[in-house]
Each structure stands twice: as structure tokens, then as C-alpha cells.
């Protein structure tokens, strides 16, 4: 079984001022993040999408590509997830779910608007386990299921980690200035 750490850290997303919204998450907003077996989930997503982005022909230097891959996602805002235990046990509010695929949003876009570029996964629970599988990017259906997971967690350890997130003072992937 894998080990999960739930993280709360300040978002590095810029504050968003939209035509119908005042301010969305910004640097003062904390988000949910994850480390699975010590690796930030965004690192796993970067590796799983590297070849897919390359196939789309985006012109970037290797350094730009690496930065883009690692920053394509950010965590979900703490203020947006009303009941994190329910959400991360696979029973999210309808706006964070895709009923057709049975998936839940686990990461949002780095711009601060989670629905702009969400990462979705199927979260299933059993008596003693919680499984994250079938990771997908809903705006790239042609990518299919990403080569991430499945991750199987001990349910008791998972719930303990979820209810006692590691609180960080900065995004764990942020590069110091």
C-alpha cells in the first residue's frame, strides 16, 4: 500500500479578478496538496503528461517545458471544499464530480480557478482501503487515462492523514527567489 500526506500550503496562484467574480484564490489562500510515497502528486502528473504535451507540438525550451509541467496544477482551495473528509473519500459536492466517470477533482489549475484545468481521479473506498485511480484531464479526452497510480491507501492511515494535514508555509514545489 502507498502512504499519503495531505498538505495545506499557501497557493502560488495569482489573485483573479473576473467579470462576475471578485477575487478567487491568491497567495493568501491555502490549498490542499498531496504527497504519495514522498512525491508531490504534481510531479507524477508532470511525468505522466510530458510526452502528451510534446505530441501536441508546444514550442518551449526544456527549462520552460519543465516549469510548465510542474506548475500546470495547484491544490484545491481550502475555502472551496466544504467537507474535505467527504470530498477526499470520493463523495464530493456535485460541482467537483463527474458522475459519468465517477471521478472527483483532486487538483485544480495553477491560475487559481480549479475548473480551468482540473485533474480528476476515481476515489473508491472499501472497508480497509481508499484507492485513487483512473486519473484524467477532462479537457484532453484524447489523452485517456493518465499513467498515474492506482494508489491504494490503508483507510485508517488515510483518514488520519486527511484530518491532520501537514501545514507548510510555502508551496513545496516553489522555487525560492
Q: Following DSSP, what letter does each residue of 102-165 receive, concatenated?
A: TEEEEEEETTS-GGGS-EEEEEEE-SSEEEEEEEE-TT-GGG-S-S---EEEEHHHHHHHHHSP
Distance (Å, rounded) from C-alpha 174 to C-alpha 12? 8
- Candidates 90, 73, 77; CA nearest to 158 is 90
Span 87-128, pLDDT tens digits: 999 999 999 999 889 999 999 998 888 999 999 999 999 999
The C-alpha atoms of residue 2 and residue 51 are separated, in whole angstroms, by 25
Query: Which pTM value belongs to this model?
Result: 0.89
How does pLDDT run along the chain (177 residues), one tens digit per residue? 999 999 999 987 665 444 444 444 444 689 999 999 999 999 999 999 999 988 887 778 888 888 889 999 999 999 999 999 999 999 999 999 998 899 999 999 988 889 999 999 999 999 999 999 999 999 999 999 999 999 999 999 999 999 999 999 999 998 665
The residue extents of the domains of the chain are 4-167
Q: What is the pLDDT of residue 165?
A: 98
Spatial distance between the Cα atoms of 112 and 134, rounded to a whole number of angstroms: 24
Residues in the chain: 177
Amino acid at each position: 500500500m502507498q502512504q499519503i500526506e495531505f498538505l495545506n500550503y499557501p497557493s502560488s496562484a495569482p489573485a483573479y479578478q473576473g467579470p462576475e467574480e471578485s477575487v478567487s484564490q491568491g497567495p493568501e489562500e491555502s490549498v490542499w496538496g498531496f504527497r504519495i510515497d514522498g512525491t508531490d502528486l504534481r510531479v507524477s502528473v508532470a511525468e505522466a503528461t510530458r510526452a502528451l504535451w510534446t505530441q501536441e507540438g508546444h514550442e518551449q525550451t526544456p527549462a520552460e517545458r519543465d516549469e510548465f509541467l510542474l506548475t500546470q496544477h495547484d491544490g484545491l482551495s481550502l475555502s472551496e471544499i466544504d467537507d474535505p473528509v467527504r470530498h477526499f473519500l470520493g463523495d464530493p459536492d456535485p460541482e467537483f464530480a463527474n458522475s459519468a466517470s465517477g471521478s472527483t477533482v483532486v487538483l485544480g489549475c495553477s491560475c487559481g480557478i480549479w475548473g480551468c484545468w482540473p485533474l480528476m481521479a476515481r476515489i473508491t473506498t472499501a472497508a480497509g482501503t481508499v484507492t485513487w485511480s483512473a486519473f484524467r484531464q477532462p479537457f484532453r479526452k484524447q489523452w485517456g487515462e493518465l499513467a498515474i497510480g492506482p494508489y491504494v491507501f490503508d483507510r485508517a492511515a488515510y483518514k488520519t492523514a486527511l484530518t491532520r494535514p501537514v501545514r507548510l508555509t510555502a508551496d513545496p514545489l516553489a522555487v525560492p527567489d
